[in-house]
Amino acid sequence: DMYCSSVGANMARIAGFGELVGYRDKATNVPSVAPKVLTRYGKTLFPESNIKEANALQCFRPLSPDDLPIVGAVRSVPGVFVHSGHGTLGWTLCLATSECLAAALTDEIIGIDNQKMFHLPGDVSVERARLSPDRFL
């Protein structure tokens, strides 16, 4: 999947390409087709633009094994919370998962335990277990 979002007047961010290459120190010279593909996609969407492959940025983004973000308390280490693993959808999901993290932190502070759902704006709910760091244990 590829995504396009506005980031300012006459500017767009095109993203959504993922390549599994390992850790940054092991992946310094990995050939990538992503800049070429995303540039071609951008030129298709915006034929009058001056999109250049040289302007493409590659970023290392943590990706969870099940392709879902990792959000919430690490039960085996009290006081540790995680907000990671969004992969190529970091910008797309970060506001919603930040709401989830805020709920988990708030529940911890005021002593609420065993909540089953994260409740988000717009009447949307997400099962906490689906995002829990503990789902991999």
Which burial class, exposed, middle or buried, applies to 122 when counting CB atoms under 10 A from its CB (0-12, 13-18, 19+)? exposed
76-87 burial, b at 16+ Cβ within 10 Å, e below that, comes to eeeeeebbebbb
pLDDT at 36 over 90: no
pLDDT at 12 over 90: no
pLDDT at 50 over 70: yes
What pLDDT was estimated at residue 29? Answer: 67
Q: pTM to 2 decimals?
A: 0.69
pLDDT at 4 over 90: no
pLDDT in tens, 68-88: 999 999 999 999 999 999 887
DSSP lists the bridge partners of residue 72 as 82
The length of the chain, given as a count of residues: 137
Spatial distance between the Cα atoms of 128 and 132, rounded to a whole number of angstroms: 6
